[in-house]
Amino acid sequence: MRVVQEMEGGADPLEEPAGSELGQAVLRPLWVELEADTMRRLEGTSVEDLCRRAQEAGVESQAQSQFDFMI
């Protein structure tokens, strides 16, 4: 997740000073906290975890299908 975030390199809208006093004092800190919590959760999730969840949900893997290559 962090790799994609770094590659996008866009400005973080939460760091811009625009907005109301309520937004700056209450909502922005809340969004920053939520983002940090979400990033911690994503960092603790591996591709293997996602594959296991997909398998448990009955999503059929296409990794086992035969591939045809032409050159």
pLDDT digits (tens, 9 = 90+) for 4-26: 666 666 666 666 677 788 888 88
pLDDT of residue 54: 95
Q: Would 42 be classed as within a structural domain?
A: yes
pLDDT of residue 13: 62
Tokens of 36: 């940090």
Q: How many domains does the chain have?
A: 1
Q: Would 29 be classed as within a structural domain?
A: yes
Q: Exposed, middle or buried: residue 28 (CB in 10 Å: 0-12, 13-18, 19+)?
A: middle
Determine the structural domain holding residue 40 and report its residue range: 18-58
pLDDT digits (tens, 9 = 90+) for 22-70: 888 888 899 999 999 999 999 999 999 999 999 999 998 877 666 666 7
Q: Would 23 be classed as within a structural domain?
A: yes
pLDDT of residue 34: 94
* CA-angle at 34, arms to 29 and 40, nearest 5°: 130
Taking alpha carbons only, the member of 12, 41, 67 closest to residue 49 is: 41
Q: Would 44 be classed as within a structural domain?
A: yes
Q: Would 39 be classed as within a structural domain?
A: yes
Q: Would 9 be classed as within a structural domain?
A: no
pTM for the model: 0.55
Element holding 60 (H helix, E strand): none
